[in-house]
């Protein structure tokens, strides 16, 4: 018969194996909690809200409800706002930000997102949302929609509401047309309808993108009301380019039907587009209804150099060097 008694050495090994097992369990718990932590004794969560650009924006016509039917290939980029969502005992919604231009009432989409979940899921606690704003406001980059989506996602995690992604997208759609895309766990997608019908696409290949935000006020509603063109429908060509993964083809097919309208209202946007083309950008486009312009470059060095030179002619602009953000 085998000796059933363990030697001191084997007992020591078993002891350390148990310690290692407990350590791994703790690591898994920490990973599962992600960035959930406590501030002043209350649960909080940090979450990034990614900006987007429109690689194409085809306006296909006007629907009976007054909205325009769109076909647009959308791409998340590495520019983001950072939200800290905290539980507070006082049953109210509080919003703070490093940007004084951010509304802190019901006109803020993040506020409305919190309000919707509190009422729909009988949340008895209050919620504080701090927004560290990096995405320019009203820039065609979906900054407000991204904050709204991050708030929905954050509160869902913070209170363990277990709201399915389909339901969260439905709530998001009622708050803003770009919110469902911002909620999508994909960096690249085709958006149709008013933007709520989403098809996740192959991840965008790496590329350096120069982003220029001209600080002028653009009303999306006004831009759409002035659009009477007939779309050539660039999105199908962009879908092929994304599938091929060829940067040159993607850059060649960048297009936006609203560019003509917005640049007629703000000609300096057209000057920006021309400036990027003069500096040998692979392709240039306006995002959304504007006023932000973006340009593809072969390298970060090339993009940074172009920004440095163009900034001298457009000192009022905010410039960023970003890359596609792929979440899957």
* Residues identified as active-site: 52, 178
Question: Can you tell me whether residue 130 is helix, strand or coil?
Answer: strand
Contacts of 304 (CB under 8 A, 6+ apart): 210, 321
**What's the angle, vertex CA 149, arms to CA 146 and CA 153, rounded to 5?**
135
Residue from 247, 215, 213 nearest 323 by CA: 247
Q: If you write DSSP's letter for every residue of 257-278 in order, what string do you get? A: TTHHHHHHH-HHHHHHHHHHHH
* Sequence-ordered list of residues with C-beta below 8 angstroms from that of 299, at least 6 positions apart, any chain: 208
The residues with which 46 forms a beta bridge, in sequence order, are 84
Contacts of 183 (CB under 8 A, 6+ apart): 149, 152, 153, 165, 168, 169, 172
Dihedral of CA 120/123/125/131: which sign? negative
**Torsion angle in degrees (nearest 10) through CA of 275, 286, 57, 325:** 110
Compute the distance between CA of residue 83 and CA of residue 111 in angstroms, rounded to an integer.
12
311: exposed, middle or buried (Cβ count in 10 Å: 0-12, 13-18, 19+): middle
The two three-digit tokens of residue 151, written as one number = 């708030």
């Amino acid at each position: 018969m085998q000796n059933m008694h363990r030697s001191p050495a084997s007992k020591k090994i078993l002891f350390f194996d148990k310690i290692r097992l407990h350590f791994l369990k703790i690591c898994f718990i920490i990973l599962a909690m992600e960035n959930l932590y406590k501030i002043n004794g209350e649960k909080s969560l940090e979450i990034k809200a990614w900006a987007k650009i429109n690689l194409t924006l085809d306006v296909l016509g006007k629907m009976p409800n007054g909205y325009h039917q769109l076909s647009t290939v959308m791409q998340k980029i590495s520019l983001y706002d950072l939200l800290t969502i905290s539980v507070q005992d006082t049953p109210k919604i509080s919003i703070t930000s490093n940007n004084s231009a951010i509304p802190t009432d019901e006109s803020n989409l993040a506020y409305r997102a919190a309000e919707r979940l509190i009422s729909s899921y009988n949340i008895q606690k209050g919620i504080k949302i701090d927004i560290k704003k990096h995405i320019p406001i009203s820039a065609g980059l979906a900054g407000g929609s991204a904050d709204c989506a991050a708030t929905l996602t954050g509160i869902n995690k913070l209170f363990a509401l277990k709201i399915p992604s389909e339901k969260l997208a439905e709530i998001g759609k009622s708050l803003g047309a770009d919110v469902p895309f911002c909620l999508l766990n994909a960096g690249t997608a085709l958006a149709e309808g008013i933007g709520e019908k989403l098809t996740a696409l192959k991840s965008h290949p790496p590329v350096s993108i120069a982003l220029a935000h001209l600080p002028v006020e653009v009303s999306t509603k006004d831009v759409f009301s002035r659009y009477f063109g007939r779309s050539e429908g660039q999105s199908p060509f962009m879908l092929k380019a994304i599938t091929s993964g060829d940067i040159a083809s993607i850059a060649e097919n960048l297009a936006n039907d609203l560019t003509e309208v917005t640049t007629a209202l703000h000609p300096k946007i057209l000057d920006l587009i021309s400036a990027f083309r003069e500096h040998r950008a692979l392709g240039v486009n306006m995002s959304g209804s504007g006023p932000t312009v973006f340009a593809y470059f072969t390298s970060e060095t090339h993009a940074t150099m172009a920004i440095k030179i163009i900034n001298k002619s457009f000192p009022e602009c905010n410039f960023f060097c970003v890359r596609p953000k792929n979440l899957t």
